[in-house]
Amino acid sequence: MMTMNQLENKLRRADQKQAVLYLFCNFVSLLLITAYSAMMFSPTVLRVLPDGGDSRKQMVAIFVLALFGCVVFTIYASSLFFRKKSRQLGTLMALGASRKRLAPGLFREVLLLSGSSSLLGIAAGFPFVFLLWNGFRLFIVDSAEMQLKLDLRCLYLSAVFFVIVVAFSCATAYRYLKRTNIIDIVHEEHKNEPVKELGRWCGPVGFVLILAGAVCGYMAPGIYMQVFSKYPTALLNLLYAPVFVGLYMVMLHTVVHGWRSRRKNPYRSLIARSMMKFQGKQTVNNLLVSTVLIAGSAFAIFYLPMLSVSQIIEVHSRPFDYCYHYRMDQTVPTQNEISALASEYGLSIKDFRSCPYLTLGRDGMEEVEDGRAFHNEHFDLAGSIKVFSESGFCALTGETLSVDRGKYRIISTTNETETYFYSTDITFLTNMVTRTTLPVSFAGYTHYDFLAGNPGYYILNDTDYETISRGIAPDWQGTIAFFNVDGTDSYAFAQDFFHTLIASFGPECEYGYYYDRVNKIAADEAGEIYWGDTDAMTRLDYDRCDASDFRLYWAYMPKIRILDQNDFLRTFAVYLMMFLFISIICTLAALIISYTRCMTIALNNRYVFDDLRRLGASSAFLKREVKSQSGIVFRIPAIVGMSAMYFLYAMIMFANDGKLVPGEIAGLGICLGILLLISVIYYIIYRYTVRKMCAELNI
């Protein structure tokens, strides 16, 4: 005679596979969230990714996508577990067990499963982070600033997610216990969840909504600022909502109608389509979550080639091996001293050119903040610019140029990209020592890529240059120099020159290019505190001259071809590692969700395949149906997520300056190659999943 406890244990063992799947889903979700949050709060990452910068905003945005995916994933896993659990509850109720009798055991099991799997996932998140991070350091690049440090505040996010998982599990258990119809409870796992069938128009309309939501969400902040003269609120992000509505409609069209015409063969894959349609709610939700995660993965991985390719092309296209500049109040190595240093490495220098420049104050319209609102106001000292004379520019570059009196030109790239760095509304320039002013107006751009970029250089007529430079002090004067190495350059010489150059600068030059001395003077004269004297970003350190923040932001950072080529990975290591890590997290989550969904199809529809086998269906036919089911689960999210993010990224690149430059085109080409590589990985996992499904179904 079997007791009720023995029967309960036997039924629990019968549902062991579903319990293991539930444990696995919770474990993976907490592992991924913990790992991601650990990286987000890591001082190693936050020190390099500037506060308020685009890279940090992208990191947070993708985390929101991953969080959304993992929340839906765990809710789905919990619902699936209790659908199977309902048969056990219904059987025990039919044998006379009361809800009061079943409640303690059920809640004890739920708390044990959800709590233990979640805590194990949180605990495993940290080794997972260390494994990936140190693997990157071991096999790709290592540097002093790559020493990973973690902030345990990241556990706050894990704790919140842990509470969500456990609370939802307990709430679902309570809901099933409150049900009264025992027959419904017993047959809960066999209930279908069909979705409402819309016309075949829903798929194309979904793609239109995706495009419209992406464009509106991206353009809205700029339009809002222009119309209302206010900084956009977070509510504007709701304009991205049509993207998710469109994604849902595309997935719904996939499940209900498919994308192949069935006029010639209306019965093609009829069984697979019907099975998917009758379980449409689960399938659509899974496809939607996987698509979002794959899109987040693609967005993160695109950061690497788009950052790398432009840098590589720019470095290789430089006309000179070395470029450095300095203030005239600094004692830096002379041409002869550089030649002597090069000779120690068996090298000689050639094509040495130099040119003086002035740092002047400029007027202009600047934004003045008033809470979230702002207005444009004219300032006599709006910022500083570096100025060449026309003859000095010609001596430096070898290009002839004529600038009219009272005019100025701006040095930009050939494609005139990044012109938003420059000021074209200047009406007068100021000598910051004598406070003499020179009326000027914009006369156009001069193209020389090697000198282009933030903060940029400007060119004046020789007479105007001479006039405005009278009485200026050495700390407002500078010199820029170019030279090449005769023959093959030496990395050791480049390193020695770089550190010798830095050692020649005094502490008065220990600041970033964004620290504007003219703004500092204007703030002091107005009795205000200049932001640059309080912001941590301005605190660079000569002793950490190999750190990425120093090499990226120092105001007098030289351009050295061989250093920039060899040290690129080290300089951008934290950036590259962070976004590679994000991509890995999102990809793993999407693959696990797709795999879990396919295995659920096998577990829930075993009786369908058994019936088909009894009706005479061959193994080849059954395997084809399995491939049809799992193919949609893997293929559609990959195609939609990757293609949507690729076109969105291309649109962002184009919208930045209204054109795609060669570096961006090359970067997009590499991004396409990366998507093909990821597709191969998805295909391998798909094949593995099909084999596991066939083994589960004895095909």
- pLDDT tens for residues 336-346? 999 999 999 99
Buried/exposed 298-330: b ≥16 CB within 10 Å, e otherwise? bbbbbbbbbbbbbbbebbeebebbbbbbbbbeb
What does DSSP assign to residue 505? Answer: S
Residue 598: inside a domain, yes or no?
Answer: no
383-440 pLDDT, tens per residue? Answer: 999 999 999 999 999 888 899 999 999 999 888 877 777 888 999 999 999 999 999 9
Q: pLDDT-derived band of residue 261, with 50, 70 and 90 as boundaries?
A: low
Higher pLDDT, 152 or 555: 555
Instruction: Identify the domain boundary among 133, 163, 191.
Output: 191
Residue 508: CB atoms within 10 A of its CB come to 11
| pLDDT of 690 strictly over 80 | yes
Residue 578: inside a domain, yes or no?
Answer: no
Residue 115 phi, psi dihedral angles, 5° rounding: -70, -50
* pLDDT the model gives residue 89: 63
* pLDDT the model gives residue 180: 44
Q: How far is CA 35 from CA 28, 71, 128, 152, in A?
A: 10, 15, 7, 12
* pLDDT the model gives residue 354: 93
Which range of residues forms the domain containing residue 470? 318-568
- Please list the alpha-helical segments (H only) found in 378-510: 390-397, 462-469, 491-503
| Least confident among 84-93, 233-242, 444-453 | 84-93
Residue 9: inside a domain, yes or no?
Answer: yes
86-145 pLDDT, tens per residue? Answer: 666 666 666 666 666 666 777 777 778 788 888 888 888 888 888 877 777 776 666 666
Instruction: Identify the domain boundary among 172, 191, 210.
Output: 191
324 and 186 fall within a common domain? no
604-641 pLDDT, tens per residue? Answer: 777 777 777 887 878 888 888 788 878 888 888 888 88
670-681 pLDDT, tens per residue? Answer: 889 999 999 999
- Residue 153 is encoded by which pair of tokens? 């505040």
Q: What is the pTM of this model?
A: 0.75
Please enumerate, as own/partner, the contacts of 212-219 that have beta carbons within 8 Å and a separation of 24 or more.
212/242, 212/246, 213/239, 213/240, 213/241, 213/242, 213/243, 213/244, 213/245, 213/246, 214/240, 214/243, 214/644, 214/648, 214/651, 215/651, 216/240, 216/242, 217/243, 218/651, 218/652, 218/655, 219/655
Residue 514: inside a domain, yes or no?
Answer: yes
492-511 pLDDT, tens per residue? Answer: 999 999 999 999 999 999 98
Dist. CA 558–CA 670, nearest whole Å: 29
Residue 348: inside a domain, yes or no?
Answer: yes
* pLDDT the model gives residue 616: 80
369-387 pLDDT, tens per residue? Answer: 777 788 888 899 999 999 9
Residue 698: inside a domain, yes or no?
Answer: no
| pLDDT of 358 strictly over 90 | yes
Please name the residues in contact with 141: beta carbons below 8 A apart, sequence gap of 6 or more: 569, 570, 573
186 and 328 fall within a common domain? no
User: What's the total number of domains in the chain?
Assistant: 2
Higher pLDDT, 429 or 553: 429
Instruction: Identify the domain boundary among 568, 585, 619.
Output: 568
| Residues in a beta bridge with 375 | 368
* pLDDT the model gives residue 226: 82
Residue 585: inside a domain, yes or no?
Answer: no
Residue 548: inside a domain, yes or no?
Answer: yes
Q: pLDDT-derived band of residue 462, with 50, 70 and 90 as boundaries?
A: very high
